[in-house]
Amino acid sequence: MSDEHYNHPMRRPDPKEGFDATEPEAPRIFFFVIGSVVLLVVTIVALQRYFDTVWYGAVEEKVLAAPVVDLQTQRNLEAWRLSHYEYTTPAKNTVRIPIEQAREMFLKDAAAGKTFYPARATVPKPEEPPKDAKADTKQEAKQETKK
């Protein structure tokens, strides 16, 4: 290359200029990398704990906390119906009885053999394949042994 294309003389840099011949400081780099990784892990753990705290707080507030008034009213009505007598129809031809009394009556009927579905307890028979299927499998077995 020549310096003829420029109006001023070109300065040629010394090859040793700008080059650091010393070794890199490995311990400082190592501690920087380790510190960065530890800081990253601590940040991830802190964010996860924050997310869990907010999440479980929202679940507690919206799902597990004291129910709303309408739900509590419905539960009280159901509890009352399970423990008191009541007509179930406006014609007053059906009566609801307390659950404890219904349980006792059912157990007495079961002990006396008066079940709702009149049937005896039976042991189920083992399932057998149809006769045609047995013959088919025997023929297939014979054909396989011939091969």
Give pTM, 2 decimals.
0.35
The pLDDT of residue 133: 58
The pLDDT of residue 3: 52
Residues 6+ apart with CB under 8 A from 26: none
6-57 pLDDT, tens per residue? 677 777 777 777 767 778 889 999 999 999 999 999 999 999 999 999 999 9
With H, G, I as helix, E, B as strand and everything else as coil, classify residue 31: helix
Q: Taking residues 56-74, report their average pLDDT.
A: 82
Residues 6+ apart with CB under 8 A from 13: none
How far apart CA 108 and CA 84 sit, in angstroms, is 20
Q: Checking DSSP bridges between strand 95-96 and strand 86-87, what pairing results, if any? A: antiparallel
How far apart CA 50 and CA 48 sit, in angstroms, is 5
How far apart CA 44 and CA 50 sit, in angstroms, is 10
The pLDDT of residue 50: 98
How big is the CA angle at 32 (ends 27 and 38), to the nearest 5 degrees?
Answer: 125
Mean pLDDT for the chain? 83
pLDDT at 144 over 80: no
Ranges of each domain in the chain:
24-65, 67-117
The pLDDT of residue 8: 79
How far apart CA 145 and CA 14 sit, in angstroms, is 92
109-128 pLDDT, tens per residue? 888 877 767 666 778 788 88
pLDDT at 70 over 60: yes
For the chain, the farthest-separated pair of C-alpha atoms sits apart, in whole angstroms, at 123
What is the helix (H) or strand (E) element at residue 86, kind and residue range?
A: strand 86-87
The pLDDT of residue 34: 97
79-119 pLDDT, tens per residue? 999 999 998 888 888 899 999 999 999 889 888 877 767 66
